Structure 1
């Protein structure tokens, strides 16, 4: 199929927007099992950055399935499409100079690699590490119980695999560390990389 689509360059660049905001466009991609603490820590990070005068936006997996991705199921193909769409949104936000915090289980190494390639520079993968049994005990949304009862199919960690990252820029262990300790580790690395 022929597509007559040409990229339209504009006069304002990412550098202009970053200078206006006095910050760098960054994507912090939180990955981990359901119940690991991704959304909780992402929310605390967003609050910290706003108080520090940084423009941020938190993209949460559940929230995007209420709108942008509400037409997608949890099949393998749709989960892949979910990550692709989110990655494209993150890329736009990053180009606008916003510090984007993306919180998605994103269980596949291949999909996270795709996200990294789509988004490009200043992609920071944050692996929120927590053992499955701990996540299952926490079960804040009651999803593990439903998965164990057969009410949810292809649930990550139960009947669908979570592939742990090999080389995340940041790894936080929410089983061993408090929310504030986890948050301080993220902030330390962002400051060290001169991204905030």
Structure 2
């Protein structure tokens, strides 16, 4: 049972393929359901891991990786299909590329980063999922006020930029400290 959260992360990664296919086929209503389910697995895996004590080192890697694969893929596809603004998709992708490059660099220089997502990062992920769901719902012809999409898009932009800056600042400080420790300059 303790592997259920990790299985949900893997499922979320695998759902990217049918979501991409459905979007390209113009099947927006079905995309909405599959993407909503993928978003639901994001909350469920975290809930189960914490509530049941099923947290693992693998899960700490799989969960953010699954989020990045899902959200980056959907942002790119929706931008190519001209459903979301390219600049907003680029902002989300750039944030995730920056965080991933930073984590890889930190790992190469100082060892495994052992980081936890920040509150602003969790808010950003929630806003991105909600925004993408709303954008697909609007394309599917479901009820979606344009102003709600605009406000949520602005919120995605702000939380993406703030969380990206937060990661850079926090991990730059940790890298400086780790570098000092490696050189024996702590104090």
Query: Where is the strand percentage greater, Structure 1 or Structure 2?
Result: 1
Instruction: Name the structure, 1 or 2, with higher relative contact order (CA <8 Å, separation 6+).
Output: 1
Shorter-chain TM-score: which interval? Answer: under 0.3
Query: Where is the helix percentage greater, Structure 1 or Structure 2?
Result: 2
Structure 2 length-normalised TM: 0.27
